[in-house]
Amino acid sequence: MEWFGLYNYWIVVVLMMVGFYIVIAQGNLIKKIVGLNIFQTSVFIFFISLAKLEGGTAPIHVAGVSDYSNPLPHVLILTAIVVGVALTAVGLALVVRIHELYGTIEEDEIHAQDEA
Amino acid sequence: MGLVQLHLPAFQVIVPMLAAPLVMLMARSPRAAWATATLTSWLTLAIALLLLIRVRAEGVVAYHMGGWLPPVGIEYRVDSVNILVLLVICFISAVVMPFARLSVASEVREDKHGYFYAAFLLANCGLLGIAITGDAFNIFVFFEIAALASYSLIATGRERQAVMASYQYLMMGTIGTTFLLIGIGFLYIMTGTLNLLDLAERLPAVNDTRTVRAALAFIVVGISLKLALFPLHLWLPNAYAYAPSMVTVFLSATATKVAIYVLMRFIFGVFGHELSFNVLGMNLLLMPLAMLGILIPSIVAIFHTNIKRMLAYSSVAQVGYIILGISFASTLGLMASLLHLFNHAITKAALFMALGCIAYRLGGVSLIHMTGAGQRMPWTMTAFVIAGLSLIGVPLTAGFVTKWHLILAALDGGLWPIAVFVLGTSVLALLYVWRVVEVAFFRAPLRRMKVREAPLSLLLPTWFLTLSCLYFGIETSLPVGLAERAAEVLMGGYR
């Protein structure tokens, strides 16, 4: 059953689409950021999955072990997580400002105010 | 070789990065923050010029971060292509900083100036990093550094729409960079490397796989979001229209240009034009999008009364010209694109600076504000007109040089309808620039407005860029030589 062996990647695809859909379809600015986080997390899982070697262990040198997981994607994703946290922080800070200025965080209400 | 010479590529990025926290500490004294940021931007320009000398002498300047050798360590790699981009970024930031003092003082709250200039330096550092690095993942990280700084810069705009524009940019920009990250992941699966040079060497062996093609698709779509290729440009008009004048000048001249450089680097350098164009037929995607991207935003621009927004739409159209040059997949086309990257940066920066002068004196940039401005602010408006002529592509201006090369490239590829199209769409630019000229010069000022000419510290940078538009329209050897060399390097893959 090959498709079951790709279990991780199916999860990645599902999470990615769920996140992307929330970003596009939701009108609430906070929920959009949640969607963006889910979208990014799916990419993180994707990178971690591709680092896994069947039968491999954690990349710490141990006598008698020859197969290790690839540590590089882990390091990359550590960086990407930091970037993601920073993005979420900036995004949320912007939403706080938007709430101060418009009194709402619903996209359609904001556009209605701007056009009025 | 001196120590400084040896570490130039690292200094190029580290100097603005380290200056940023320093500037932030000066939040209490806006003057000191501005002075430090200005000195830093001049220092980075000096470093870029020194790098140019080294690139001319050595061909390629490779720098290994921390002494780790390439496939393992991160490599900074300066060749004929990215030195052009580095020069554009440094040149624009060095000119925009003197302009910033009064312009920012009138548009941004005083207690925020320290943070503002710190964010500017971080954006500068991020853009320089994208251009200089030879590591795919590093490109992603620097994209995010530049983007995060730009979001906060845009959000400092006076009107409340600025914050919303920044939020929308954040959403679309993050999706773009995440797509880029997915593409880089696919490339890493297939080749086990992140070094661009290494990727270019290992990819031909696995070119036929669906993974590599998906990687190309993700990377092209992701970067297209960042460079505002029509129809992925929706974040741009609001972001440029509501950002403070100085931010608009800087971002319009550099941010999209750097993304265009990354696109060129990936489709020509890493994937190779053979795979991108001959096998996958990307020109069939890019060419229609570029043409629609020139036509529709140009027409939209004609109907906007907010001139800043009008020029923002014009920026989307100009990105279209650059992508059109890329889609020819020829050395001549690439050369035209690289030239336009350089010339449009100067032209658009000059235009937005002139608008900055107008905003400083008149408090707004709508067409109504500018009624009769030609009589009150003759120097500002003359600069606007000259830069506008360069935007249209009138002979003796920088814009003409690129249009000329673009038409030559189209004819060389046997695409004469496109040559006609390029000429025809220039008329649209004439239409939207003319509206401003008519209102500013041929109508008497409405009220008895006591408006004087913009102060010298705003006018000098504006005129410096305006004269550059003329200079590079007449004395074309520097940009043409650089672009020619760069186009040859790109067409030859990654060396």
Reported confidence tier of residue B49, pLDDT bands at 50, 70, 90: very high
Q: Cβ contacts (< 8 Å) between B155 and chain A: which residues?
A: 94, 97
B438 — pLDDT class (breaks 50, 70, 90): confident
Angstrom distance (rounded) from CA B110 to CA B302? 36
Locate all alpha helices (DSSP H) within B328-377, ordered by sequence: 331-362, 373-376
Nearest chain B Cα distance for residue A55, angstroms: 18
Total residue length of chain B: 495
Rounded percentage of chain B residues whose pLDDT exceeds 90: 47
Q: Whole-angstrom Cα distance, residue B493 to residue B240? A: 34
What confidence tens digit (pLDDT) does each residue in B483-493 have? 888 888 888 76
From chain A, the residues in CB contact with B151 under 8 A are: 90, 94
What single letter denotes the amino acid at residue B156? Answer: T
List chain A residues with CB under 8 Å of B182.
43, 46
Asked if B175's CB is within 8 angstroms of A23's CB, the reply is yes
Q: What is the 3-state secondary structure of B174-215?
A: HHHHHHHHHHHHHHHHHHCCCEHHHHHHHHHHHCCCHHHHHH
Asked if B306 has any chain A CB less than 8 Å from its own CB, the reply is no
Q: Kindly provide the ipTM of the predicted complex, given to two decimals.
A: 0.93
Distance from CA of A70 to the nearest CA of B (A): 10
Q: What is the mean pLDDT of residues B45-55?
A: 92
Beta-carbon neighbour count of residue B4 at 10 Å? 10
Q: Examine the pLDDT at B476 and tell me if it is beyond 90.
A: no
Q: Which residue has the tokens 């940023």?
A: B20
Q: Looking at residues B100-110, what average pLDDT do you find? A: 85
Under the banding of pLDDT at 50, 70 and 90, the label for residue B5 is confident
CA distance B235 to B175: 12
Average pLDDT over residues B203-210: 86
Residues near B486 by beta carbon (within 8 Å), at least 6 away in sequence: B79, B80, B81, B84, B334, B335, B338
Question: Mind listing the pLDDT tens digit for each residue in B329-362?
Answer: 888 989 999 999 999 999 999 999 999 998 888 8
Q: Residue B109 class from Cβ within 10 Å (0-12 exposed, 13-18 middle, 19+ buried)?
A: exposed
A3's tokens: 């498709």
On the question of pLDDT at B145 being above 90, the answer is yes
Q: Is the pLDDT of residue B450 over 70?
A: no
Q: SS3 string of B142-180?
A: HHHHHHHHHHHHHHCCCCCHHHHHHHHHHHHHHHHHHHH
Cβ–Cβ < 8 Å for B324, B291: yes
> Do residues B239 and B231 touch, judged by C-beta distance below 8 A?
no
Q: What is the pLDDT of residues B386-408, one digit of tens each?
A: 999 999 988 888 889 889 999 99
* pLDDT greater than 70 at residue B183: yes
Query: Which residues 43-102 of A have a C-beta within 8 angstroms of B?
Result: 43, 46-47, 50, 73, 76, 79-80, 83, 86-87, 90-91, 94-95, 97-98, 101-102
Kindly state the average pLDDT of the residues B270-299: 87
CB atoms within 10 A of CB B65: 16
CB of A9 within 8 Å of any CB in chain B? Answer: no
Residue bearing the bigger pLDDT, A7 or B1? A7
* Residues A5-29, mean pLDDT to the nearest whole number: 90
Residue B444 pLDDT > 80: no
Closest CA of chain A from B194, distance in Å: 10
For residue A60, the Cα-to-chain-centroid distance in whole angstroms is: 27
What is the distance of C-alpha B305 from the center of its chain?
A: 24
Query: Cα separation of B375 and B385, whole Å?
Result: 14
Domains defined for chain A, CATH in brackets: 2-58+68-115 (1.10.287.3510)
Looking at residue B1, what is its pLDDT? 60
pLDDT of res. A2: 66
B185 contacts chain A (CB < 8 A): yes
Please determine, for residue B454, whether its predicted confidence score (pLDDT) is greater than 90: no
Task: State the average pLDDT over residues B175-199.
Answer: 91
Q: Does B187 touch chain A (CB under 8 A)?
A: no
- Token duo for residue B373: 């401005």
Residue A9: per-residue pLDDT: 87
pLDDT confidence of B364, banded at 50, 70, 90?
confident
Confidence of residue B305 (pLDDT cuts 50, 70, 90): confident
Beta strands in B39-134 (DSSP E): 61-64, 75-78
Choose between A90 and B3: higher pLDDT: A90
Which of B163-172, B276-285, B327-336 holds the top average pLDDT? B163-172
Q: What was the pLDDT predicted at B107?
A: 84
Average pLDDT over residues B68-75: 83
What's the pLDDT at B415?
A: 84
Nearest to A87 among B148, B155, B189 (CB): B148
Shortest Cα distance from B171 to chain A (angstroms)? 8
Residue B114 tokens read as 């320290």
